[in-house]
A and B are shown apart, each in its own frame.
Chain A
Amino acid sequence: MELRRDVFQAIADPTRRAILTLVALQAMTPGAIAAQFDSSRQTISRHIQVLTECELLRQEQNGREIHYYINAVKFKEISDFIEPFRKLWDDRFNKLEAVMKKYKS
């Protein structure tokens, strides 16, 4: 029996990370995702399947089409997922502070 996929194994693959980056911006159909890559549609489907199995993506049926979404709940299980957001703001504010020190008389 195949071992249950783990999240870190899933995000270790560059193509799968690229898929997550795309879907993070907007829910997408498998066709729209595959269109972004040079690999075959089957290869991309396989990657999508892995991401879905480890619950990083979730699918929703809209009429005839399936859309893939980022599974926010699963991302929260990855420790400190909020840290890069905090780091982004911290870097931005550090810059502000450094720039304004030049204006100190």
Chain B
Amino acid sequence: MELKTKVNAENGKQELFITREFDLPLELLFRAYTEADIVAQWMGTQVVQLDNRSGGAYRFETTDPKGNKHYFGGSIHELVPGKRIVRTFEMLQTPFGPQLEFLEFEAIGTERSRLNMQVVYRSVAIRDQILQLPFIQGINMAHQRLESYFIQQ
């Protein structure tokens, strides 16, 4: 099946772009990012904090099958309802550091909408590492080494 999500990662750049069109009105797409109980449903995470305002912050927490907690979060730099979220995102127990995310929401007529994400990483090397993680984890699906690595951290 054709994927609806496009990823554009030019060689040698420390950013990438993710674009997706949704079969949802703009208002619902934006709510998916700003209402804690909804975020929890599609992200599969516990939303500990979601302070939706320019200058706010958010924090998510997940528990893996072994009971280890993983934390994600960042600062919300700018939030314009129905239009834009500028925020940082960081996976807290990893060495990657924070990334800067620009999320632009737009309506396509009344029933559809589009999300454009620009993600900027600290370096080209870190972007490439993060881009490759799902590939490497994919070829290694059967293995628990990654989890045991986190336990020892």
Contacts and interface: CB of A to CB of B under 8 A. Distances in A.
Majority DSSP secondary structure for residues of A touching B = helix
Interface stretch (B62-70, B74-82, B100-108, B124-132): B124-132
Contact of B3 (A18, A86, A99): A86
B50 to A, nearest CB: 15
Contacts, number: 122
Majority DSSP secondary structure for residues of B touching A = helix
A94 B22 CA distance: 9
Interface residues of B, number: 44
Interface in A91-105: 92-101, 103-104
Interface residues of A, number: 38
Contact of A85 (B11, B115, B131, B145): B131
Interface of A: 11, 14, 17-18, 20-22, 24-26, 36, 70, 72, 75-76, 78, 81-90, 92-101, 103-104
